[in-house]
Amino acid sequence: MNDTFHPDLTVGMVGLGLIGGSLARAASGAGYRVLGLDINKSVELKAKLLGIIADILTRETLEKCDVILLGIYPGDTVAWVKENAPFIRKGTVVMDTCGVKRAVCYPCWETAAEYGFTFVGGHPMDGAAKIGFDHSSDKMFKKASMILCPPRDLMIEDMKKLKDVLDSAGFGRYEITTPEHHDEMIALTSQLPHVISSAFIKAPNSQCHRGYSAGSFRDMTRVAYLNEVMWTELFAENRENLLREVSGLILELKKYETALREQDDGAMMALLRDGRMKKESADREVRK
């Protein structure tokens, strides 16, 4: 066990699906006492039998938590924080894991300020095609990036307490940003690829790909296997940013369509060259 962890702290985990279950497994494995809550009571029982949670998280045990992590949808997150705020001990750090931040952070910051606890927006940048507790893993977030949107008055002690818990999951990078910048970037790096993948798999011959597909097809279609309820909510909460990215992509695709339709191989070569150069430039930025 890493000596920097504080096993005397109690972690509450609301939602024991893929994300929440993975964070709970990691925290429990690091020696934290984890109290868990899930809408599916059989998941709660399984997590307890496996020793991933020490007990069920209730309104009566909320006051025992030093850190509370929320692995539920954006609307449910805001509702849960508002409904349970009176039972959260002052000084507790609460963090969500939603894929949008403006719709979550601002109402939750307001509630947290009213009741004396701290709310931090969080977004772990990893996942898996399969969903649910049975597919969660304590290694899910090894070397992954964690994006944090803290309130302006966040104390260093609270950030350290939260980071110690998150470090148990093995995050390799932390990005600190605003809800606005998070949502703007996520529209491009996460939401747009899901739109593209969902549209791409509807191509006329997509169901006949066996024997004709390799890495490119798998990469393009991987995230089409998604939770449509969750992603519809995420898209709706970030509508203007995602619409801008989709519209921009359509404009670019039109250029390729025109080059093909007009049999302009020179224009096509220029488009492909420009794409390759932009990819090289983007990769150089990542390596910095």
In a structure prediction context, what are the per-residue pLDDT tens digits for the chain, which is 288 residues long? 344 445 679 999 999 999 999 999 999 999 999 999 999 999 999 999 999 999 999 999 999 999 999 999 999 999 999 999 999 999 999 999 999 999 999 999 999 999 999 999 999 998 666 778 998 999 999 999 999 999 999 999 999 999 999 999 999 999 999 999 999 999 999 999 999 999 999 998 888 888 888 889 888 989 998 889 999 999 999 999 999 999 999 999 999 999 999 999 999 999 999 999 999 998 886 665
Task: Say how far apart CA 40 and CA 246 lie, in whole Å.
Answer: 36
In terms of residue numbers, what domain contains 24? Answer: 10-177
User: Residue 49 falls within a domain, yes or no?
Assistant: yes
Phi, psi of 87 (to 5 degrees): -100, -5
Structural contact between residues 183 and 100, judged by C-beta atoms closer than 8 angstroms: yes
Q: 144, exposed or middle or buried, with CB in 10 Å at 0-12, 13-18, 19+?
A: middle
| 169 and 194 both lie in a single domain | no
For position 213, what pLDDT does the model report?
Answer: 80
Of 185, 163, 184, the C-alpha closest to 174 is 163
Question: Does 191 lie in the same domain as 173?
Answer: no
Tell me the Cα Rg of the chain: 21
Cα–Cα distances in angstroms (integers) from residue 253 to residues 154, 180, 260, 264, in the given order: 44, 27, 11, 15
110 and 192 part of one domain? no
- Return the pLDDT at 80: 98
The CATH number given to whatever domain includes residue 232 is 1.10.3660.10
Q: Would residue 113 count as lying in a domain?
A: yes
Single-letter code of the amino acid located at 15: G
* One domain for residues 128 and 212: no
Choose among 105, 120, 123: nearest CA to 150: 120
- Are 17 and 69 within 8 A, CB to CB? no
**17 and 132 share a domain?**
yes
Question: Does residue 27 sit in the same domain as residue 120?
Answer: yes
Characterise 135 by phi-psi region: left (phi > 0), alpha (psi -120 to 50), beta (else). alpha
CATH of the domain at 39: 3.40.50.720
Q: In terms of domains, do 93 and 186 share one?
A: no
Report yes or no: 177 and 147 within 8 Å, Cβ to Cβ: yes
Taking the C-alpha atoms of residue 23 and residue 163, their distance in angstroms, rounded to an integer, is 13
Global pTM reads: 0.91
Residue 5 in domain: no
In this structure, what are the phi and psi dihedrals at residue 226, rounded to the nearest 5 degrees?
Answer: -135, 170
pLDDT score for 128? 65
Boundary-marking domain end, from 142, 177, 212: 177
Does a structural domain hold residue 44?
Answer: yes
Residue 220 lies inside a defined structural domain of this protein: yes
**172 and 34 share a domain?**
yes
d(CA 16, CA 132): 8
Residues 45, 165, single domain; the answer is yes
End of a domain among 177, 205, 221? 177
**Given this model, what pLDDT does residue 3 score?**
46
**HSE, side-chain direction, 13 A CA sphere, residue 238:** 32
CA distance 156 to 173: 18
Say whether both 83 and 210 belong to one domain.
no
- Total number of domains in the chain: 2
Quick check: is 3 in a domain?
A: no
1 lies in a domain?
Answer: no
| 139 and 84 together in one domain | yes
Same domain, 195 and 73: no
CA torsion sign for 180, 186, 192, 195 is negative
In angstroms, the CA 11 to CA 109 distance is: 20
Whether 115 is in a domain gets the answer: yes
Which residues face 95 on adjacent strands? 69, 120
- Residue ending a domain, choose from 177, 201, 219: 177
Tokens of 132: 């649910």
- What pLDDT, on a 0 to 100 scale, did the predictor assign at position 288? 59
